[in-house]
Amino acid sequence: MRIILAVMMMAMAGGCMGKRPANLATTRPVTDVDPQLAENDYWLAKPASVEVRGDFEKLWQASEDAAHEFLFKIDRRDKRSGLMTTEPLISKQFWEFWRKDVGTLRDANEATLASIRRTIYFQFRREKDGGFTVAPKVIVEKDSKVDPIYKADIEGPSTYWYAMRRDEVVEKRVAAAVRKKLNP
């Protein structure tokens, strides 16, 4: 009886992996990601989630006003290339009920637990019919710090921000604010 029990225990100790490969998420280091995913350009090249159409000057002013409504400060104004950007803004934490710069409760909780920031990129484009559109794109970035123990082995800054994703919920809210300012 003890022998049978020992054999069964040994069979169970082997687990149920069999010949299937291990879950890659548990066998790869956390830093083993495609480097382009951490770059703003990768996320900005993705199609817009929403666009607003109108006269260029009115769109420009409405976009700037919408950014201020969401408590962002304008960093770059380049009408020639059709780009307006905001300064990065540390994202709302869950108790900051008056702020509108995160899309969901999950986003607010994430920003409460880690240093998260958002930047709005307003991309303006002339259409074939001569009109204009603006596409607000919101990049979400996370602060990363190099452990002081390893800092001596690594060249470069000990802290940096890397892009995580776009916030399409906030993009749609910003676009709605631009539309509202165009048509009060």
- Report the pLDDT value the prediction gives residue 41, as an integer from 0 to 100: 87
Q: Are 122 and 128 in contact (CB under 8 A)?
A: no
Q: Is residue 155 in some structural domain?
A: yes
The β-bridge partners of 85 are 76, 121
DSSP state of 36: G
Average pLDDT rounded to a whole number, residues 146-171: 77
Above 90 in pLDDT, residue 74? yes
Q: Is residue 25 in some structural domain?
A: no
Q: Is residue 75 in some structural domain?
A: yes
- Report the pLDDT value the prediction gives residue 10, as an integer from 0 to 100: 65
Q: Is residue 23 in some structural domain?
A: no
Amino acid at 61: Q
Written as six digits, the tokens of 78 are 């380049």
Distance CA 57, CA 10 (A): 75
- Report the pLDDT value the prediction gives residue 24, as an integer from 0 to 100: 57
Q: Is residue 115 in some structural domain?
A: yes
**For the segment 11-33, what is each residue's pLDDT rounded down to a tens digit?**
665 555 555 555 655 566 555 66
**For the segment 34-57, what is each residue's pLDDT rounded down to a tens digit?**
677 778 889 999 999 999 999 999
Q: Is residue 138 in some structural domain?
A: yes
State percent of the chain over pLDDT 70. 75
Domain that includes residue 108, residue range: 36-182
- Report the pLDDT value the prediction gives residue 97, as an integer from 0 to 100: 87
Distance CA 111, CA 94 (A): 8
Written as six digits, the tokens of 152 are 């001596």
What mean pLDDT is reported for the chain?
A: 84
Per the structure, the count of domains in the chain is 1
pTM here is 0.77
Q: Is residue 122 in some structural domain?
A: yes
Q: Residue 80 is part of a domain; what is its CATH number?
A: 3.30.310
Q: Which residue has the higher pLDDT, 121 or 34?
A: 121
Q: Is residue 70 in some structural domain?
A: yes
SS3 (DSSP) at 79:
coil
Written as six digits, the tokens of 98 are 């008056």
Above 90 in pLDDT, residue 149? no
With DSSP H G I counted as helix, E B as strand and the rest as coil, what are the percentages for the chain, rounded to 5?
35, 25, 40
